[in-house]
Every structure is written in structure tokens, then in C-alpha cells.
């Protein structure tokens, strides 16, 4: 079937999402599998997009040519070797292959000015890919565990957003978010602008000035099904960019 310009304008934007590659159990099978929490898929679908999974295998930046937007998902700790540091005792369960996969996709997306939303680990990966570093164990810096209260328990954080930013345009001056992380941005990559912080000074959002939509947040917006503002903004930008091509 050949699509005409009208068909393309109506097509739901295709949003790629990076995935985990993990030992997994289903039925009688115990095998490695590409996986992603369903909440990401539901958020993109509810916001008007079509989610497409991008596993950290066979990485090819040309895949972005068929996408209208990209989400760098959350997950495990980033390998500190990627930013020239030794591992902290609390830095565990790293996935260097996934780091490399996501760095390639981030650079390719920015080169294309493809709408990009980086979530939690994704924000950290965006910073590292552009030359920044991380606090490997945030409680050492802020002296509390509120950003990751207990295993599998999300924390709640109020975030203050900088004016005259994409983040502010989407979320306003203050927003309450759910977070689950023990690492955070330390040295900010030179290309990034910090656009939100929590009360303890933790960097909560960054963006790339001069790009149409390139935004990273330290929290998990996919965990708020009643607040799809970030996903809606991503998909609106993806639709606009596609129409301009």
C-alpha cells in the first residue's frame, strides 16, 4: 500500500523506546529477553503514539529514520568507566552494552533533531553521552534516601522548574513527581542546560537549547497515567517534525 501525504499526516507517530536485555522467566522458559515495563508502552499509546521497542542488540542508528521520536528508558546503573570513574560500592548490575547502544542512539537522534525524551537512567545516559559525569550514590551527597526509599518503592519529590525553558512550557513552575534512583547528574555536560531541581539540589531535568525537543527528566513520568504531559508534548513535536519533512 502506498501512503499519500494526507495518510502520513494522520498516521500516529512511531516512538522508539530503548529496552532492557535481562534473564527472564515465562512459562517453562528461562532465557535472556528484551523487555520493558508496560507502563512506558501504555503512556505512549495513551498520548497518541505507537511504541516500537529498540533492544540493545544489533544497534543501527539508521533505524531512527523510520521513527518520529525516541524515548531513552530507565533501568540499571550506568557503567562508571563510561565517564572515567571507578565504581562506587553501591554501583551494581551495570550493562555496558546497553550504555553503548543508547549512546549511539542519543547522538544519532540529536544529529537528526529527532524529538527525544530521556527518563531517569535515560537522563543520566544523555548527560554521560555528551561528556558529563554522575554522582554514583546520591545519599552520599544529599544525606537521605527519599529518591529511592525502599526496593521497588517510588519516592515523591517536588520539582521546581526554570522559567523560559521547554520543561517549564510543558510542566509549569512546580510539579510533583515519582522517582526511583540512587544516582544523579554531577558534572553537567556542556551542551545541556539544567531546567529543574528538587529542594535538595538534585538535578531533575535538563534540555538541549537549540533543539526542537530534547529533554531529560530524572523522575518516572510513565508512572503517572493521569499526567501524560511529557509524552503528549513529545508526540506533538514528533507529529510536527514529520509534517515539516
Distance of alpha carbon 16 from alpha carbon 18, whole angstroms = 7
Which candidate in 222, 223, 237, 241 is catalytic? 222
Catalytic residue check, 120: yes
Which candidate in 101, 102, 220, 241 is catalytic? 220
DSSP annotation of 93 reads S
Which candidate in 102, 120, 182, 207 is catalytic? 120
Catalytic residue check, 220: yes
Distance of alpha carbon 115 from alpha carbon 103, whole angstroms = 15
Are 192 and 206 in contact by the 8 Å Cβ rule? The answer is: yes
**Bridge partner residues of 198 (DSSP):** 159
User: Where do runs of H (alpha helix) occur along the chain?
Assistant: 5-10, 38-46, 96-112, 121-129, 139-142, 166-171, 229-244
Buried b (16+ CB within 10 A) or exposed e, 69-84: bbbbbbbbbbbbebbe
Residues known to be catalytic: 120, 220, 222
Amino acid at each position: 500500500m502506498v501512503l499519500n501525504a494526507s495518510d502520513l499526516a494522520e498516521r500516529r507517530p512511531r516512538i522508539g523506546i530503548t529496552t532492557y536485555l535481562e534473564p527472564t522467566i515465562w512459562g517453562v522458559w528461562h532465557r535472556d529477553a528484551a523487555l520493558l515495563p508496560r507502563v512506558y508502552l501504555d503512556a505512549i499509546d495513551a498520548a497518541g503514539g505507537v511504541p516500537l521497542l529498540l533492544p540493545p542488540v544489533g544497534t543501527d542508528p539508521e533505524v531512527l529514520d523510520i521513527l518520529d521520536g525516541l524515548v531513552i528508558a530507565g533501568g540499571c546503573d550506568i557503567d562508571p568507566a563510561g565517564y572515567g570513574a571507578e565504581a562506587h560500592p553501591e554501583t551494581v548490575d551495570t550493562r555496558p552494552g546497553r550504555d553503548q547502544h543508547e549512546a549511539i542512539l542519543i547522538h544519532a537522534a540529536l544529529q537528526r533533531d529527532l524529538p527525544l525524551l530521556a527518563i531517569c537512567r535515560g537522563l543520566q545516559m544523555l548527560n554521560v553521552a555528551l561528556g558529563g559525569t554522575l554522582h554514583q550514590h546520591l545519599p552520599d551527597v544529599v544525606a537521605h534516601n527519599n529518591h529511592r526509599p525502599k526496593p521497588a518503592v517510588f519516592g515523591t519529590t517536588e520539582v521546581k522548574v526554570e522559567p523560559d525553558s521547554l520543561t517549564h512550557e510543558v510542566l509549569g513552575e512546580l510539579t510533583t513527581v515519582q522517582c526511583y534512583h540512587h544516582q544523579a547528574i554531577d558534572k553537567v555536560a556542556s551542551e545541556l542546560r539544567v531546567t529543574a531541581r528538587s529542594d535538595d539540589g538534585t538535578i531533575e531535568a535538563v534540555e538541549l537549547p537549540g533543539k526542537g525537543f530534547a529533554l531529560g527528566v530524572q523522575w518516572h513520568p510513565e508512572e503517572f497515567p493521569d499526567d501524560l504531559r511529557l509524552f503528549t508534548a513529545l508526540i506533538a513535536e514528533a507529529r510536527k517534525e514529520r509534517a515539516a519533512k
